[in-house]
């Protein structure tokens, strides 16, 4: 019995000591096996496969720069806790972290995202950028994964860090710049295509040539209308917006516009207050949108991003398949405006008494 008891006691002692051993012993992976260390480990990776990035102090081979001892086998704990140790060399981060918006994991500890020795990913990251970010930001992962209209910016280049600064920023949501400034970094080419291969407008070129900008564009807030992480609406729009030139009026299909504009301005036949596009009290928005069967959508008359004319009125609309543009010939007058010889014969409207 005594022997059995001793054996059981020894087994129990081994079982209890195993976690402690695992924490204190030098990780084997660092010395022998490539990537044998658990994903996200802070221990040095093995030499093969060659790490993609390596920290200069680790490369220098002097553990004492960061640890209490210079013995690679027993370096002991680090000299300082949290970001303080990193800031001794990465001194610019003292200023970076004074920006208005800071990332909680950065405030807590640099090693939340970085391996201080070496890594299989750029910038000593513990995982691939997108995987690392979505470890916490799981709702973004869900949005990205189920998006039928994806955004290439999330999967190319620096991925999440194409647009976000993972440390700190003066812009909310840790954006590197205001949305507009970020978007036109890519949407500035004539040959750009979306994730499905469809040609995209050179937005910067268009905006440079059309100075009457829609409010959200002027506010540099592309994300007012677009969902940068992907979604189910064409052109990454946040909500429904009619794709067609003609459509039966249904307020649900204008959800995007009505998230700011008042629906009543388009569904009230007679008004003297809801819109200036009226002839007396006859609401011409209502008239154009609510025609049975051939209701015009916003795009029939308006450029949503920018135009040369006021009220975002477009110069022309595409007609037929030959790329012909049908001029709208809109003219603003002192008390209203007119359109001529386009969709209809010249029609003039007046929304206030002539002075």
- Provide the binding-site residues for other proteins, judged by CB under 8 A: 56-57, 60-62, 64-65, 70, 88-93, 96, 99-100, 165, 167-179, 181, 215-216, 219-221, 223-224, 259-262, 265, 272-277, 285, 310-311, 351-353
Q: Which is nearer to other proteins, 173 or 211 (CB)?
A: 173
Nearest CA-CA partner of 229 in 191, 173, 177, 172: 173
Structure tokens at 88: 């001794």
What is the DSSP code string of 183-207? HHHHS--TT-B-TTS-B---HHHHH
Beta carbon of residue 77, minimum distance to other proteins (angstroms, whole number): 17
Q: Which is nearer to other proteins, 18 or 219 (CB)?
A: 219
Phi, psi of 350 (to 5 degrees): -135, 125
Beta carbon of residue 62, minimum distance to other proteins (angstroms, whole number): 5
Cβ-proximal residues to 95 (8 Å cutoff; 6+ apart), any chain: none
Beta carbon of residue 343, minimum distance to other proteins (angstroms, whole number): 21
Q: Which is nearer to other proteins, 53 or 177 (CB)?
A: 177
**Is 262:286 a contact under the CB 8 Å cutoff?**
no
Q: In degrees, to the nearest 5, what angle opens at C-alpha 181 toward C-alphas 255 and 188?
A: 90
Q: Which is nearer to other proteins, 249 or 258 (CB)?
A: 258
Q: Which is nearer to other proteins, 37 or 124 (CB)?
A: 124
Beta carbon of residue 117, minimum distance to other proteins (angstroms, whole number): 14
Beta carbon of residue 225, minimum distance to other proteins (angstroms, whole number): 9
**Is 329:339 a contact under the CB 8 Å cutoff?**
yes
**Spatial separation of the C-alpha atoms in residues 212 and 99, rounded to whole Å:** 33
């Amino acid at each position: 019995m005594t022997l059995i008891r001793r054996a059981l006691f020894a087994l129990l002692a081994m079982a209890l000591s195993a976690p402690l051993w695992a924490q204190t012993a030098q990780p084997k992976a660092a010395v022998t096996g490539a990537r044998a260390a658990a994903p996200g480990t802070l221990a040095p990776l093995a030499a093969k496969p060659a790490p993609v990035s390596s920290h200069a102090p680790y490369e220098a081979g002097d553990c004492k720069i960061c640890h209490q001892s210079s013995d690679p086998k027993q370096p002991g704990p680090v000299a300082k806790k949290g970001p303080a140790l990193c800031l001794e060399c990465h001194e610019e981060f003292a200023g970076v972290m004074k920006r208005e918006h800071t990332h909680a994991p950065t405030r807590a500890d640099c090693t939340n995202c970085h391996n201080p020795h070496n890594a299989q990913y750029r910038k000593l990251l513990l995982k691939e950028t997108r995987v690392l970010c979505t470890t916490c930001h799981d709702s973004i992962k869900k949005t990205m994964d189920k998006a039928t209209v994806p955004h290439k910016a999330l999967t190319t280049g620096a991925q999440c860090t194409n647009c976000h600064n993972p440390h700190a920023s003066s812009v909310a949501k840790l954006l590197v710049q205001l949305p507009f400034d970020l978007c036109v970094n890519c949407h500035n080419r004539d040959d750009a295509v979306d994730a499905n291969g469809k040609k995209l407008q050179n937005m910067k070129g268009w905006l440079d040539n059309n100075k009457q900008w829609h409010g959200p564009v002027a506010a540099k807030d592309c994300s007012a209308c677009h969902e940068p992480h992907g979604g189910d609406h064409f052109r990454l729009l946040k909500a429904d917006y009619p794709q067609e030139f003609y459509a039966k009026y249904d307020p649900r299909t204008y959800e995007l516009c009505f998230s700011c504009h008042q629906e009543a301005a388009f569904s009230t036949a007679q008004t003297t207050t809801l819109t200036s596009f009226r002839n007396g009290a006859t609401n011409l928005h209502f008239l154009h949108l609510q025609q049975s069967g051939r209701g015009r959508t916003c795009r029939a008359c308006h450029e949503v991003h920018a135009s040369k004319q006021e009220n975002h009125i477009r110069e022309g609309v595409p007609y037929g398949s030959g790329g012909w543009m049908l001029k709208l010939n809109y003219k603003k007058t002192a008390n209203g405006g007119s359109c001529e010889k386009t969709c209809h014969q010249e029609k003039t409207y007046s929304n206030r008494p002539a002075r």
